[in-house]
Amino acid sequence: MAFTSLADVEDTIVAIGSSPAPAVRGAVRFSGPDVTRIAQRFGVQTRSDRSAHCVDSMIDLGDPLGTIPVRALIWPTKRSYTGQPSMELHTYGSMPILQAIAGRSIEFGARAARPGEFTLRAFLAGRLDLTQAEAVLGVIEAEGRGALDHALRQLAGNLSRPIESLRSELLDLLADVEAGLDFVDEDIQFISDSDLDQRLASIISEIKATRDQLAQRSREKSEWIVALRGLPNAGKSRLLNELAGHDAALVADVAGTTRDIVSVPVQIEGHDVLLVDTAGIESVAGDSPIEQISQQAQLHANRAGRDADIRLWCADQTSSTWDQTCHVMRELAADKRRAAIDLWVATKCDSPASGDPGQPWICTSSVTGQGIDLLRAQIAAAIESLDKSNGDSVVGTAARCIGSLVAAESAIEAAIRYVHGGDGHEYVSSELRLAAAALGEVTGAVYSDDILDRVFSRFCIGK
């Protein structure tokens, strides 16, 4: 589906702008030239001056909903998020009511908005560049503080600003080169070859630095965090060593061996994973120095568990308190991020069990290696089902932009070769044009339907 037919911008669009989950308040959003007329059809008395305003009103939704109170926020001119006349109708957060308002608006001439269409209009109106549009998605989707910070920085223009300034430098350079082309017979040059060479070298090194940063960011993000949790002595550290293939963590027959978080990067069926070992779960009271250390270890372990993408809940199946252990861990497992996956690992299966762990437990032994391959396979399957790379829009920006930056680099390299070879500046200028266009794709200064589709199809309706 194409999102970008420019004629569509003249349609007035409507969508429910609040979350479908039950809430006290909900909102229906509108954008387009007909907003004021639609407000009036609802009986909302808009003000005739051109500034943004707010009106409380009763609107009639017909049978069976009847008349309900709404608060209308109206931006009657281009001075709005979408750069068009816009309106939000706020009322009860009830889906049938919000749907009835949207349905009525369609009778009044509005069209149902497509995914991301409000943000697309903000982009087309020059309110946001493409990296910022993607950052809007990043803010909506952010699950943790880190992801939110990242998205907010990108929204503030941290990525687009340096790229726009490189692009404008390149366009200045292009202007100089092309001005020289007009006077080629008179042998007038607006920029010397050595100047050109120097400025191109500096631009290319900045593009490379930006690309390295982006690549670093997507690498950081593509690492999956797998945390081992469980009671003291469950065999977490030995299991970590088994999965890592070397002795990274201390193992001992003493409860409370692990205190600090131990992290080991490993590859599991081609996925980059950071295995994280944690202190065994216990409740610690008192304020002696040792107890304080244990309390800190518990805090760190809980945090690591909460931040993980996948948690391995490890329980010693030889333990006589198996049922109780399972109960404790299930309660702790309830504290999780929406997207995290829990795997249940029975340990020490080389020794006689106190009972049959059964489903969903994966029986393992770090002594014989039993179940370790199965556990690896389950971790890989969990990673594939999480499919984080699709969900993280800020990582999406990195993936989208790296290709454009590489294209810009190779065009500039070609330009430098022409300069060194003493070839005509017309060759240089055509490479500089390509490079500027490639940089423009990153921020959307130069865009195609295909790029816009890729960016905006990831949004939900109403954003």
b (16+ CB within 10 A) / e for 391-413: ebbbbbbbebbbebbebbbebbe
Cα-to-chain-centroid distance, residue 282: 35
Helix (H) or strand (E) holding 139: helix 130-141
Please tell me whether the peptide bond between 64 and the residue prior to it is cis, using omega within 30 degrees of 0: yes
| Alpha-carbon radius of gyration of the chain | 29
Binding site for Mg ion (CB under 5 A): 237, 257-258
DSSP label of 257: -
Task: Identify which of residues 166 and 349 has a Cβ nearer to ligand GTP in the complex.
Answer: 349
Residue (218 or 241) nearer to Mg ion, CB = 241
Closer to ligand GTP by CB, 43 or 369: give it.
Answer: 369
**Shortest distance, position 284 Cβ to ligand GTP, whole Å:** 13
Q: Which of 417, 407, 401 is nearest to 200 (CA)?
A: 417
Strand, helix or coil for residue 268: strand
| Contacts by residues 119-124 (CB-CB < 8 Å, ≥ 24 positions apart) | 119/456, 119/459, 119/463, 120/3, 120/4, 120/452, 120/456, 121/9, 121/31, 121/82, 121/83, 121/84, 122/81, 122/82, 122/83, 123/444, 123/452, 124/6, 124/9, 124/83
Nearer to ligand GTP, 17 or 280 (CB): 280
- In the complex with ligand GTP, which residue's Cβ is closer, 218 or 278? 278
Residue (of 220, 177, 16) closest to 101 by Cα position: 16
CA angle (188 as vertex; 183, 189 as ends), nearest 5: 105
The interface mask with ligand GTP, positions 357-386, x = CB under 6 A, is --------xxx-------------------
The item of Mg ion, ligand GTP, none sharing an interface with residue 366, based on CB under 5 to 8 Å by kind, is ligand GTP
Q: Which one of residues 233, 325, 378, 443 is an interface residue with ligand GTP (CB under 6 A)?
A: 233
Torsion of CA 164, 169, 173, 176, to 10 degrees: 100
Cβ(227)–Cβ(312) under 8 Å? yes
CB 295 → ligand GTP: shortest distance, Å? 15
Interface with ligand GTP (CB under 6 A), residue from 23, 252, 299, 377? 252
Interacting partner of 232 out of Mg ion, ligand GTP, none (Cβ under 5 to 8 A depending on kind): ligand GTP
Q: Which does 256 bind (CB under 5 to 8 A by kind): Mg ion, ligand GTP, none?
A: ligand GTP
Q: Which of ligand GTP, Mg ion, none does 154 bind, CB closer than 5 to 8 A by kind?
A: none
Q: Which of Mg ion, ligand GTP, none does residue 348 bind (CB under 5 to 8 Å by kind)?
A: ligand GTP
54 interface partner picked from ligand GTP, Mg ion, none, CB below 5 to 8 A per type: none
Among 235, 305, 396, 462, binds ligand GTP (CB under 6 A): 235
Contact indicator for 348, 318 with CB cutoff of 8 Å: yes
Instruction: Using the rule CB under 6 A, give the single segment among 78-86, 107-115, 142-150, 230-238 that binds ligand GTP.
Output: 230-238
User: Half-sphere exposure of 22 toward its Cβ, with a 13 Å CA cutoff?
Assistant: 0
Q: Which of 132, 237, 325, 378 binds ligand GTP (CB under 6 A)?
A: 237
| 119 near ligand GTP (CB under 6 A) | no
Name the minimum Å distance from CB 210 to ligand GTP. Answer: 42
Q: Which amino acid is at 459?
A: F
**Residue 367's binding partner, choosing from Mg ion, ligand GTP, none, with beta-carbon cut-off 5 to 8 A by kind?**
ligand GTP
253 binds ligand GTP (CB under 6 A): yes
By CB under 6 A, which span of 46-54, 128-136, 229-237, 283-291 interacts with ligand GTP?
229-237
What is the number of alpha carbons within 13 Å of residue 259 lying toward its C-beta? 7
Contact 275, 228 (CB under 8 A): yes
Q: Which is nearer to ligand GTP, 351 or 390 (CB)?
A: 351
Least Cβ distance, residue 383 to ligand GTP (angstroms): 23
Site for ligand GTP in 305-364 (CB under 6 A): 347-348, 350-351
238 binds, among ligand GTP, Mg ion, none (CB under 5 to 8 A by kind): ligand GTP
> Would you put residue 319 in left (φ > 0), alpha (ψ -120 to 50) or beta?
beta
261 binds ligand GTP (CB under 6 A): no
Task: Give contact residues for ligand GTP (rule: CB under 6 A).
Answer: 230, 232-238, 251-253, 255-258, 279-280, 347-348, 350-351, 365-367
